[in-house]
Structure 1
Amino acid sequence: MSFRLSTRSRARLQGVHPALVGVIEAAILTTPVDFMVTEGLRTPQRQASLVRAGASRTLNSRHLTGHAVDIAALVDGAIRWDWPLYPRIAEAIKAAAKARGVALIWGGDWPRLRDGPHFELDRKVYP
């Protein structure tokens, strides 16, 4: 089954680096689990608010420069945070990145504080 990005998800990609937007647009066509974009570019104020709330641990987020997105799995139209859904989505996003030659990091691969919904462009390639 092929999914598509909603108007809301596309709006949340505004200001995100074109390479990452292309990856997300390609991945939605091949993912086995539907997803939506919950956040892309963030203001410093939004990032500080997330740190204060404990939802982020850094004021130096890749979201501040448009080099990161967060997604949410959709099952029967409802957002789901079940961990097993995110590696399935990540596989499609990583494959789309590889096909496009885009260096991508998935928060689910981090050794500490895994973040399944988070994808960012590698700082080494996209400073």
Structure 2
Amino acid sequence: MKQAKTAFIIIFLLVLGGFLFFWVQREIEFREELEDRPLPDSLHPIVEEMSQQLVEEAAEIDIDIIITDGFRSVEEQDRLHHQGRSSDGNIVTYAEGGESYHNYGLAIDFALQLDDGSIVWDIERDDNGNGRSDWFEVAEIGKRLGFEWGGDWNRFKDYPHLQMTFGLSIRELRKGWRPEDKLD
């Protein structure tokens, strides 16, 4: 009886060991495939679609906006990160290349556009005259459409910024994870 239990345990451990070996091997292959994925070179299709809807819905309440930035290459992100540090201008980002959702086509920036075509980043402006900040109204539309708003961040308020993470962290995106191209 004791020999049967011992044999069973040995067989069980061998089967379990074999399973774990193949599982770990598959995980390693899967991660190597992910790391080889190239970075996107444009906005994610859902982010693009929701950006257009944001512009349309803002216009419906008499707020004209323009998308001032979308996809950014790692090099562009690095240039922005140097701004206010090693080059002239104000600091506009704390994210280096590869650390921004813009680098994965998952973020946009917007600004208000005036009737004369000029662009302003005035978060208190109320051109539609309803007693509420146009900027915050646009942010509310964005959040309803599924964006996270940089104005809600605690550390660094990035009022022009909207992003869709699809539940993925920058770390996961850097490892090659990508969101699906359509919603379920």
Fold equivalence (TM over 0.5): yes
The 2-side partners of 1:119 and 1:25 are apart by 13
2:159 aligned counterpart, secondary structure: coil
Determine if the alignment matches structure 1 residue 109 to structure 2 residue 158: no
Among 49, 52, 58, the alignment partner of 2:79 is: 49
CA contact (8 A) 2:71 2:105 kept: yes
- Structure number with higher strand proportion: 1
Among 14, 22, 25, the alignment partner of 2:52 is: 25
**Structure-1-length-normalised TM-score:** 0.75
2:57 aligned counterpart, secondary structure: coil
The 2-side partners of 1:41 and 1:89 are apart by 20
Determine if the alignment matches structure 1 residue 94 to structure 2 residue 143: yes
Q: Which has the higher contact order (CA 8 A, sep 6+)?
A: 1
What are the Cα deviations for residues 70-90 of structure 1, in whole angstroms up to 9, with x where unaligned? 111112222111113321211
Aligned length: 108
**Structure-2-length-normalised TM-score:** 0.54
The 2-side partners of 1:70 and 1:121 are apart by 12
The 2-side partners of 1:121 and 1:43 are apart by 17
Identity of aligned residues (%): 30
In structure 1, list runs of 5 or more residues that go unmatched: 1-13
Determine if the alignment matches structure 1 residue 73 to structure 2 residue 112: yes
Partner AA of 1:83 in structure 2: I
**CA RMSD after TM alignment:** 1.8
Residue 39 of structure 1 corresponds to which residue in structure 2? 69
- Structure number with higher helix proportion: 2
Residue 15 of structure 1 corresponds to which residue in structure 2? 42
Moved over 3 A (4+): none
CA contact (8 A) 2:71 2:102 kept: yes
Partner AA of 2:139 in structure 1: A
The 2-side partners of 1:122 and 1:65 are apart by 10
Residue 122 of structure 2 corresponds to which residue in structure 1? 82
